[in-house]
Amino acid sequence: MVAEQDGRDQDRPVLITGGAGFIGANLAHRLLAEGRSVLVYDNLSRPGSRQNLQWLLEQHRGRVQVEVADVRDRQALRRAVQPAGQVYHLAAQVAVTTSLVDPISDFEINAGGALNLLEALRALPDPPPVIFTSTNKVYGALEDLRLVRGQTRYEPAELSVRACGIAEDRPLDFHSPYGCSKGAAELYVRDYARTFGVPTVVFRMSCIYGPRQFGTEDQGWVAHFLIRAIEGEPIIVYGDGLQVRDLLYVDDLVDALLLAGQYVHVLSGRAFNIGGGPDHTTSLLELIDLIAELRGARPEVRFGAWRQGDQRYYVSNTTRFSAVTGWAPKVGVREGVEQLYQWLLESRGILPVPRRAAKAVS
């Protein structure tokens, strides 16, 4: 199947809401490196966003536009969409924990912000396509998924799930205010394609990691674990550490985002699970083992109570998106974690540890 191209879009700037965030900065960098013009729309509230914006400006000075504004600002959004040839809506409140403390702000940013953007686009005579990043949390805690407890991880009892992961036909079950706000936003995004003809694609994303990620305890756990180990601080594991996730390196995600933009008129109105899939999985305990191997010493690990709505197992079935676009992840877990680790060291002015000096930990 051939992607539909719109020559006009190539001459117009790409609007990235949340463009100074971890994913947004990587996406903006790729687009700018390919000669596209980019408008970064960000309120710079996320830790690391100011550093990412400064990096983009240094790398692409004179070619990146910046609008420091919030997605709750309807007037600013209406201005930002006017020249856009394509939109990536990444701006969000990203933590389940934060949504539990302040559900109203979570809703206003995630659901309200998405609706503000969609209305700004709908008002245009020829709305540009929008790719929206949702979350696997729209499937809830997956409590009905039967699991087998292994020594270092959970595995699904059902062999088809173990082989392929969770598919898009899984019933939605919004869990936590964060799951509700992102789920509501996703439904609006998909319906605006059906009701108003705004071209849209939804990514239900798993765990994304890579350079320019300033992970915290609440979001970006792969980077957070590495940061804690580098700084000699204990890693806090909530639950038993056997939880399994599929990891997707940010370069592979950027590939998928760009393909969604190319194939948007074929994919419009649909949602796709995007993650590393069954070949790119780790449990929390297995990641800690890998960190110990990279550093030559095991970090201190402490355990806390399970967090509300935590999925014991989630792995994306990405075959629906791959069947249309040919996309597949390229970066393995070990390779990707090593690259993130080296970037975190370099960003702190620490000489990278030669791989040959790292000691295997049994």
3-state SS, residue 142: coil
Scanning the structure block, which residue is given the tokens 């996406």? 27
Which of 78, 339, 344 has the alpha carbon at shortest distance from 355? 339
C-beta separation of 174 from 95 below 8 A: no
Query: How far apart, in whole angstroms, are the C-alpha atoms of residue 4 and residue 264?
Result: 8
> Among the options 154, 178, 192, 209, which is catalytic?
178
3-state SS, residue 298: coil
Which of 179, 21, 75 has the alpha carbon at shortest distance from 187? 179
Q: Can you give the C-alpha Rg of the chain in angstroms?
A: 20
Q: Helix (H) and strand (E) counts for the chain? A: 15, 15
C-beta separation of 200 from 185 below 8 A: no
Query: How far apart, in whole angstroms, are the C-alpha atoms of residue 199 and residue 238?
Result: 39
- The answer to whether residue 178 is catalytic is yes
Positions annotated as catalytic residues are: 178
